[in-house]
Chains A and B, each alone.
Chain A
């Protein structure tokens, strides 16, 4: 089959690779219909993931049709149209039973799955062995482990272009609002107006926030966020963000601040020298009201220095993080999509055949031509 493979720092190519196979009884094979770029791929693309091997198939946000199921799969049949969550989780361990599927104990295996800074969490498609070694969805076919836990039938009235965002971007945004405990009447500030930032803003509105403010430096993204979520745009190039946020929250500061700006900078991530993940986090900590909550979304953060710990302790902030949402919210999000309450297809600013996957990632990486997300069709 054809698949978009990482070839080394900055290099992607569509190659012929062997078709996936059922390797566990809970697996199924999906013929991919749509897959999406994600900012979480950029550190790998830039060569900042040392354990990555040339030939890895990228992509952890995808949707497709079931073509083969393992003997223990109960909820899916061949020909089902499914969206697959980015996190590979068992659904049976203590963490999964608490609803913490992104913290699954059994989503990876092998000694490579022991990260140096802590315990192994859920696996992820299109990532090296530390996250399970599961091939990604930028391909004609993909193997889906624990299929009954991570894959969900798509309602007939939701088309592929909308539903594919239920794989990860929309759950990440929902997760951000939930982690922040967004409640009716809250003022919420979101750093980053990419797909996850916009969907965090939409989730905050859905949770009843009175005012949602999105901070970014790209006019087109800010306009899109305002048009589709009702959020107030703040261009940090032209305003004093902290002063604006104080003013727009009655001098208190936002109740919930979400850093959805993505991983810290790298040579390919921020070619224009824009704000990095650490800068957004620091600003969020300084902006947040006393006793408020700061949420950090996105993987690949690794280490961020100059963290304003004094502001956290003096203001009594809660800081919460999540690199992957887990699939728990996907059914409810698909229902919202079916009712027209969650619209996502505008985020697919570029639709390309899989064979042009490298071009799509270049557009996405460089924010060129107003690219928010590139969607591929095999």
Chain B
């Protein structure tokens, strides 16, 4: 009985590993059929202000063709929920975007959404001060 249990366990692990390996191969090939997770932020303003005439705001606009977007009123008068996810599976971001994000487009898209919200709400994207390694001519 114990031997049968070990065998079932081993077969289960083998099947699970095979599925995971196939999923990784599909992901590497950009053909993972599973939809990526939506990344969402809430932005001040009505949907028609966030997406005037359906036009995407910067810097989201630069991802046209690589992502899909929706916007809807947030409950309680909190503004607009703005959502974005990659088109065509998990690793479909093209070119430079793919280079930037590696295999975690979610992190990249969250950053794009944050910058989009900053632009819409404050008119600019906040910049950090130069970090110590970036300071030109810093005398140490």
Q: Which A residues lie within 8 Å of B115 (CB)?
A: 109
Q: List 6 A-B contacts (CB under 8 A).
A: A108-B126, A111-B108, A114-B107, A134-B129, A135-B129, A143-B129
**A24-B124 contact given A15-B140, A94-B42, A111-B111, CB 8 Å threshold:** yes
Q: Is B114 an interface residue (CB 8 A)?
A: yes
Beta-carbon nearest neighbor of A107 in chain B: B126
Q: Is B95 an interface residue (CB 8 A)?
A: no
Q: Is B138 an interface residue (CB 8 A)?
A: yes
A interface footprint on B87-128 (CB within 8 Å = 1, 0 otherwise): 000000000000000000001101100110110011111111
Indicate the member of B122, B132, B135 with the most A CB atoms within 10 Å.
B122
Query: What is the interface size of chain B, counting residues whose CB is below 8 A from a CB of the partner?
Result: 32
Q: How far is the CB of A13 from chain B (nearest CB, A)?
A: 9
Beta-carbon nearest neighbor of B111 in chain A: A111
Residues on A lying within 8 angstroms of B by beta carbon are 5, 15-18, 20, 23-26, 53-56, 72, 90, 92-94, 97, 105-111, 113-114, 120, 123, 129, 132-135, 143, 145-146
Q: Is B65 an interface residue (CB 8 A)?
A: no
Q: Which B residues lie within 8 Å of A110 (CB)?
A: 111, 128
Beta-carbon nearest neighbor of B76 in chain A: A94
Instruction: Name A20's contact: one of B79, B122, B129 (CB within 8 Å).
Output: B129
Q: Bound state CA distance, A135 and B118, in angstroms?
A: 21
Beta-carbon nearest neighbor of A17 in chain B: B138
Q: Which A residues lie within 8 Å of B138 (CB)?
A: 15-18, 55
Beta-carbon nearest neighbor of B104 in chain A: A111
Instruction: Name A111's contact: one of B44, B107, B136 (CB within 8 Å).
Output: B107
Instruction: Name A18's contact: one of B44, B123, B133, B135 (CB within 8 Å).
Output: B135
The answer to whether A15 and B122 touch across the interface, beta carbons within 8 angstroms, is no
Q: Is B78 an interface residue (CB 8 A)?
A: yes
Q: Bound state CA distance, A17 and B135, in angstroms?
A: 8
Q: Which A residues lie within 8 Å of B129 (CB)?
A: 20, 23, 133-135, 143
Q: Which A residues lie within 8 Å of B130 (CB)?
A: 18
A interface footprint on B58-92 (CB within 8 Å = 1, 0 otherwise): 00000000000000000000110000000000000
